[in-house]
Amino acid sequence: MKSTEPENLILSALLTRASKPVSRIAPTPSGFLHAGNALSFLLTWLLVRRLEGFLHLRIDDLDAPRFRPECLEDLFRQLDWLGLDYDAGPDGPTELHARYTQSLRIESYETALQTLCERGKLYACRCSRKEYLALSSDGLYPGPCRNLSIPFTEPHCSWRIRIMKPCSVSALDKRTSVGQIDLASEMGDSVLRRRDGLPAYQIASLIEDLDSGCNLIVRGADLYPSSLFQCHLSESLGHREFKRIVFLHHPLLKDESGRKLSKTGGALALKNLRQTHDEPGFLYCLMARWLRLPSEEINDLRELQHAFLDVSLEGLGQISIGGFHLNE
């Protein structure tokens, strides 16, 4: 029987804020997709398809020094292998470069940066990462350039947002009902424009989500501070609608040692897993276990999608994969 509980916060929030959910999957072509990425993308896809919403594929390719063409090609291969369709976005590398690359959107990001400058929210910083880490006790920027009034036109400077101390930010969240962090101690004065002149990830991601009309964002729990930082950033820009987005921060898939998966570790990269698995059924089974569904009944994506109809959306934020590892 399908879950239809009226108290379901995720479902009710989406239905009262928009007629249909709009979400995205937004990989970065700086490394090969791994099993953790696959599960996050699957969860996003399952939610959007269950609620008859709209799904964007966005490729976060703005970081040119870290861009790897082979990872971009792999990304499309793995999405196709997983069977995940989407409603808007590039169908391959050629269309990405022609129509969807973030370099075509630089003007939108720079407009947002200029607005923040005019509102006194940013300051220029001469420090390299190596220089400020030598002064930092916690890995955050300690602020040596904060009050120097360096001209924004000075070359080879980054632009940082000025986070006042304390700066407490809270937002509705499906993991903890209400989340709250002190941005000063969690994120510090983050870079929004890099030393090479390119907009940083945080501002680009925010503008993309706003412009595409996203009202549902599915992310790993490690990005929870980043979500609240972007809520603060959107309010600084005068875009309060970002804070009304429904967030789902899911637990992370970990390796045998308990560390979260990353693109730098290749053992659980999908391209490597495919050497021993012709079909993605084992990932669908893992997803079913993650959702506490009877995994022995899941053989393909359509069966997983059908079983997902019985999942209580309200319980998604409490999912715990515990000791589950891919090789169990």
pLDDT digits (tens, 9 = 90+) for 46-75: 999 998 999 999 999 999 999 999 999 999
What is the overall mean pLDDT for the chain?
A: 84
Q: Phi and psi (nearest 5°) for 114?
A: -65, -40
Residue bearing tokens 């921060």: 249
Angle of the 35-50 helix axis to the 301-308 helix axis, nearest 10: 60
Q: Classify residue 214 as exposed, middle or buried by CB count within 10 Å of its CB (0-12, 13-18, 19+).
A: buried
Q: Phi and psi (nearest 5°) for 229?
A: -60, -40
**DSSP letter, residue 260:** B
**DSSP letter, residue 221:** G
Task: State the pairing for strand pair 191-193/158-161.
Answer: antiparallel
Q: Give the chain's domains with CATH numbers.
A: 9-318 (3.40.50.620)
Most confident of 117-131, 244-258, 303-317: 117-131
Q: Classify residue 70 as exposed, middle or buried by CB count within 10 Å of its CB (0-12, 13-18, 19+).
A: exposed
Output the pLDDT for position 168.
Answer: 65
Best CA proximity match to 110, nearest among 151, 145, 159, 154 = 159
| Residue 323 predicted with pLDDT over 50 | no
Instruction: Please state, in angstroms and rounded to a whole number, the distance separating the CA atoms of residues 216 and 10.
Output: 9
**For the chain, what is the radius of gyration of the CA atoms?**
20
Output the pLDDT for position 321.
Answer: 32
Instruction: Please state, in angstroms and rounded to a whole number, the distance separating the CA atoms of residues 216 and 23.
Output: 5
Residue bearing tokens 């970065």: 28
114: its two tokens: 């200029």
| Residue 1 predicted with pLDDT over 50 | no
Task: State the pairing for strand pair 158-161/122-125.
Answer: antiparallel
pLDDT in tens, 146-186: 999 999 999 999 999 999 876 766 654 444 444 567 888 88
| Residue 45 predicted with pLDDT over 60 | yes
pTM of the model: 0.87
89: left (phi over 0), alpha (psi -120 to 50) or beta: left
Better-scored residue on pLDDT, 291 or 2: 291
| Residue 20 predicted with pLDDT over 90 | no
Share of the chain above pLDDT 90, in %: 57
Q: What is the DSSP string of 286-328?
A: HHHHHTT--GGG--SHHHHHHHHTTS-GGGGGG---TT--TT-
**Which DSSP helix (H) or strand (E) runs through 76?**
helix 69-82
Compute how many other C-beta atoms are within 10 angstroms of the C-beta atom of residue 218.
Answer: 23
Q: Which residues contact 241 (CB under 8 A, 6 or more apart)?
A: 210, 234
Output the pLDDT for position 166.
Answer: 66
